[in-house]
Structure 1
């Protein structure tokens, strides 16, 4: 997968998790000259690697835990659709077993998130 697509996927997933959990963004801070800097995440955000089939399997494994873990996933139609409306239509018309995942973000209790991601290596 191209590095630009990986970076875009990580950005989209991060923005979506941030929307769902604004409490993970720190307060704005000033530098020594008094210039304001907007808050950034107060948590580490590891970017892990995995294949599309592995992500599909992971997505199904985490489904029963969605009351405890926020899951944001991204399917490959983002590469071919031009608008969110097109993306929505494609998602709606594609059977779940045919979805091809290109990324996923999980947020929740560390122990539970590690249960699903502990065997994934860091993207380097």
Structure 2
């Protein structure tokens, strides 16, 4: 994927995880001049790489674990749709086996997340 699309995918997924888990955002702070700064995530957010078929495989394997994990996925329809309603319709009308994932974000226990991502390399 082009770097801009990778950055956008990471941003969208991060915002969505943050919405579901606002507790991962630290307290606002001030700098040495007393100027305010918004809190940022208190957790590391590794960006891992994988192929589209691998993302699809991982996504399907995650389904039984969704009570224990927060899973946010993004399909490539973001490239061809212009509104959230169009994106939602594309998700609804595309057979699941034909969904093309460009990213998946996970939040949960390190052990369970590593079960699905431990063999993926860091994006560099």
TM-score tier after normalising by the smaller chain length? over 0.9
Unaligned runs of 5+ in 1: none
Per the normalisation by structure 1, the TM-score is: 0.99
**Where does 1:42-53 land on structure 2 (aligned, <5 Å)?**
42-53=42-53
Q: What value does the CA root-mean-square deviation take over the aligned residues? A: 0.4
In the alignment, the residues of structure 1 paired with residue 31 and residue 90 of structure 2 have an alpha-carbon distance, to the nearest angstrom, of 45
| Count of aligned positions | 124
Segments of 4+ moved more than 6 angstroms: none
SS of corresponding position for 1:86: helix
CA displacement at 1:118 relative to structure 2? 0.4
Q: Which residue of 2 aligns with 1:84?
A: 84
Aligned to 2:119: 119
3-state DSSP of counterpart to 1:90: helix
TM-score scaled to structure 2, two decimals?
0.99
Residue 23 of structure 1 aligns to a residue whose secondary structure is helix
Q: Structure 2: any 5+ residue segments left out of the alignment?
A: none
Q: Post-superposition shift, 1:63?
A: 0.6
